Amino acid sequence: MREMIVAMGPMFWLILFFATLALAVLAERLFYFHRININSGEFLRGLSALLRSGQYDECLHEARQLPGPMARVVEAVLSRPRLSRQELREIALEASEVEVYRIERNVRTLLVCATVMPLLGVLGTLLSLVSFYEQPGVTDGAAAAPVVAATLQQALLLSAAGIALAIPAYLFYMYLASRARKLINSVERAGLECVHIIADARDEAMARKAMEESPAAPCCRVQEGADELEKA
């Protein structure tokens, strides 16, 4: 293996740099997605129960305790519970757009690495062949067989190394891009669900208040009638 690396020359180290960068991005993004992973269904059900009982402060506290973009979007909506449904919807969408950058950060770096590495391999192959044919006597067929073999080995190894490292980088890019898109959809859905929960809980509270106050009116009228009869 060491002889192969030496045979590939300086271009291999440039390919290895992009491979290391891709590995670092992959590790960072996997750790990020693992850290912010929460059960959105259970989270929203808990918020719904608290909001329907009027515990807005408790909901806001729960959202602030959880990590990740979903909790931040819900927190942005819960911080303004008195706004209309449309205004809350706009706040949820704006907060979701802010979180999109954090979710997709560095993911495209994997695509850059997967694109650059095979190109560097091909470039190294071409440079090896060019430097070989620039040697005196090569075009006249005077090159020794070991020199030709070493040049072909270097050229083929560089292309193979670039392609071999680019394939997993591209596959991991597709995986992270798909996971990021699913997370963005979950964040947007959680924000809109929170808007509907707040608005529905507020409407239910107003309806209950109206129902509690409605029986009091006839009682007041009966009492007023009784007072008038006593005065008469």
> Residue 217: its pLDDT value, please?
45
pTM of the model: 0.74
Task: Please tell me the distance from the alpha carbon of residue 87 to that of residue 77, in angstroms, as a whole number.
Answer: 10
| pLDDT score at 172 | 95
Q: How far apart are CA 3 and CA 86, in angstroms?
A: 67
Question: Which residue stretches of the chain have pLDDT < 70?
Answer: 1-8, 132-148, 214-232
Per the listing, tokens 């491979």 go with 19
Q: What is the pLDDT of residue 166?
A: 94
Domain spans, the chain:
2-127+145-231
Cα-flanking dihedrals φ and ψ of residue 67, to 5°?
A: -90, 165
